[in-house]
Amino acid sequence: MAIHELFAYLRVKDAGRAVEFYKQAFGASELFRLVEPDGRIGHVELKFGDAIVMLSDEYPEMDCYAPDPDGGNGFLIHLHVDDADAMIAAAVEAGARLIRPAQDHFYGERSGTVRDPFGHDWMLGHSIEEVEPDEMQRRYTALMEGERSS
């Protein structure tokens, strides 16, 4: 049995507003949406570059809830972009909260993290160097050993 694709599917408290945020903050484009007669959005597909992200309003009656925008989050979406600093600035301008400012990392990427107004965390990064896995492990070990001695 083969896997053909993997999609992130986000639940939010206001899908219409979320779509507009993702368009403004990240340049996403809407492919289509399915809307109930009362206006609740059951499904939207957004294109982020070559990737598709799906989202909907929450459905408590189906045990589908949006995260708390002020709470912790165990889920992160990583967008690899041309300019992390510019994308982070655009996301914050659109209403995201800065969680971690952009910085250069041992694994060859400059990245930072924002939390969107709907409770989802987004790591926005761009490549600054190619790092082989063995070298990445060496740098990671050195970093972790340095943190333990601090």
pLDDT per residue over 114-142, tens digit each? Answer: 999 999 999 999 999 999 999 999 999 99
33 CB contacts (<8 Å, ≥6 apart)?
15, 19, 41, 43, 44, 45
Residues 22-58 have pLDDT tens digits of 999 999 999 999 999 999 999 999 999 999 999 999 9
Determine contact, residues 2/23, Cβ cutoff 8 Å.
no
Name, in order, each residue with C-beta under 8 angstroms of 68's C-beta and a sequence gap of 6 or more: 119
**Location of structure tokens 């949406």:** 33
Structural domains in the chain, CATH included, are: 1-66 (3.30.720.120), 67-150 (3.10.180.10)
CA pair distance 84, 127, nearest whole angstrom? 9
Establish how many alpha carbons lie within 13 A of residue 76's alpha carbon, considering only the half-sphere containing its beta carbon. 15
Q: What is the pLDDT of residues 57-91, one digit of tens each?
A: 999 999 999 998 888 777 889 999 999 999 999 99
